[in-house]
Amino acid sequence: MRDLFYAFTIFLLTLGPIKVVAPFFLITHRNNQRTILLFALKSTIVATSIALFIVVAVVSTMLGWALSSVQAGLAVQLIIGALRRLHIIP
C-alpha cells in the first residue's frame, strides 16, 4: 500500500506542472528571455512558499488535533461542500 501511495504522489507531482505550460506560454510569449526566466523564478518561489506553508500548517494541525489523514480529507471535503452549497465558491 505504501508503494501505491508513493506512486500516486509522484504521478500527481509530475502531472500538475503540465497544466501550467499553456497559460505560461500565453502570458510570456511576447517577452524577452530574461523576463521569462525572472517570471518563472518568481512563480516558482511563490508556489514553493505556499506549498511549504500548507505542509507546515497541516502537519502541525494533524499533530495537535491527533487527526488521521482520512479524517482531515473528509473535513476538507465537508467544508468545500458547504461552501459550494452556500454559493461562496463555484
| 3-16: pLDDT as tens digits | 777 766 766 676 66
- The residues near 84 (Cβ < 8 Å, ≥ 6 apart) are 90
Which one-letter amino acid corresponds to residue 58?
V
- pTM, two decimals, is 0.52
> Tens digits of per-residue pLDDT, 37-78?
998 899 888 888 888 888 888 777 777 777 777 887 888 899
Please enumerate, as own/partner, the contacts of 33-39 that have beta carbons within 8 Å and a separation of 24 or more.
none
> Would you say 62 and 69 are in contact if contact means Cβ atoms under 8 Å apart?
yes
Grid cell at residue 40 = 518563472
